[in-house]
Amino acid sequence: MKTILTGLRVNSELTIGNYLGALLPMVRLANQHKDDYNINIFVPDLHSIISEVDGELKDNILKSIKIYFAAGLQPNENVHIYRQSYVPAHSELCWILSCIASMGELNRMTQYKEKSEGKSSVNAAIFNYPILMAADILLYDAEYVPVGEDQFQHIELTRNLAMRLNNKFGQEIFVPPVKTEEQIKFMGVENGIRIRDLSNPEKKMSKSTAGENSKVMMFDAPEAAAKKIMSATTDSVGKIQYDMFNQPGISNLLQIEALVNDVPLQDVISTWAGETHYGDLKRKVASSVQTMLEDFQNRVNDISDEKVLEYLETGEKYANGIANAKLLEVQHVFNLR
């Protein structure tokens, strides 16, 4: 059976960008394919410690699993949930892959450039991070890796590393994840999703942005979240239409409205075509987001820690089995075994 895999870092709270851009599409895919694919959902806790030490990491890990269920993930024997640091093969393969990755290709990673820009010193993990991500994916032969647009470059790097290693040894050791365009098609979204910063819609919404009104967090008080939407930056064109280039703020609101209500973006665009009152659109989106947060937060509180630990125990047993077998294959070709 083929594998669909994704992970979400947990060091700070989730934004609606993470939720709508990555988590919901993943949950929908998982539910749709739970009988014909392995669905691997893991918590990249080693990625979480790169930028900061989070005193609540352990609790937040449990919370992030609850979030998947609150987002609608249905438990099933093909759904595997695990923590990265509980499967040591991830770090081991990361090291091996770093022996075939080049400094040049890592240097080109946009995320690395953004995160290191203007800093006098950055840790080595920020640079190596995409290699660990490649290991996360390649250990499980995951062909489909639903992620937001900001991670596409890392998926391409993973593909390249997989093909390079296969060529080096003349064997199909890794299954490279499919190309970005095919990932997008498989996810069933027209384009990679990029929810924008509410105050500065030229940029993506990010948990690390300082401005409180820039981002809606999944655990914001729902009414406060609605107010943030009402304060979103728009433009002076005076027409509600989808034009990410000239009207990124309005387009972002249309996109959010479509994703929150699980309707095609095109339908939302048609509904608002010809309308000119930005306030009406903001009120509608604010109300959709408020309702979504209320429902979501209630569902998170319904899932117990015990239940989550039970899923993790089973998931980690499974993950170690698959990952160790793949690692052994790699160790063999490198003559380590």
Mind telling me the catalytic residues? 115, 204, 207
Tell me the angle at which helices 57-70 and 278-301 cross, rounded to the nearest 10 degrees: 110
Query: Cβ(176)–Cβ(159) under 8 Å?
Result: yes
DSSP E strands in 69-138: the ranges are: 79-83
Size of the site for ligand TYM (CB under 6 A): 24
Nearest approach, Cβ of 110 to ligand TYM (angstroms)? 12
Give the C-alpha separation, 335 to 332, whole Å: 5
Nearer of residues 125 and 230 to ligand TYM, judged by Cβ: 125
Nearer of residues 70 and 147 to ligand TYM, judged by Cβ: 147
Write out the binding residues for ligand TYM, residues 198-257 only, by CB under 6 A. Answer: 204-205
Q: Count Cβ atoms within 10 A of the Cβ of residue 279 and give its class: 0-12 exposed, 13-18 middle, 19 or more buried.
A: exposed
Q: Which of 251, 275, 140 is nearest to 202 (CA)?
A: 251
Nearest approach, Cβ of 238 to ligand TYM (angstroms)? 27
Q: Which of 217, 187, 212, 232 is nearest to 296 (CA)?
A: 217
Write out the binding residues for ligand TYM, residues 3-62 only, by CB under 6 A. Answer: 5-9, 17-18, 21-22, 44, 47
Nearest approach, Cβ of 131 to ligand TYM (angstroms)? 10
Nearer of residues 137 and 226 to ligand TYM, judged by Cβ: 137
Q: Which DSSP string corresponds to 145-211?
A: ----GGGHHHHHHHHHHHHHHHHHHTS--S-PPPPHHHHHHHHT-SS---PBPSS-TTSB--TT---
Per DSSP, the chain holds a count of helices (H) and strands (E) of 15, 4
Write out the binding residues for ligand TYM, residues 124-163 only, by CB under 6 A. Answer: 133, 136-137, 145, 147-148, 150-151
If you search the block for the tokens 């939407």, which residue do you land on?
229
Nearer of residues 58 and 337 to ligand TYM, judged by Cβ: 58
Query: Cβ(69)–Cβ(299) under 8 Å?
Result: yes
Nearest approach, Cβ of 236 to ligand TYM (angstroms)? 25
Residues 159-198: x/- map of binding to ligand TYM (CB under 6 A)? Answer: ----------------------------------xxx---
Nearer of residues 6 and 247 to ligand TYM, judged by Cβ: 6
What does the binding site for ligand TYM look like in residue numbers (CB under 6 A)?
5-9, 17-18, 21-22, 44, 47, 133, 136-137, 145, 147-148, 150-151, 193-195, 204-205
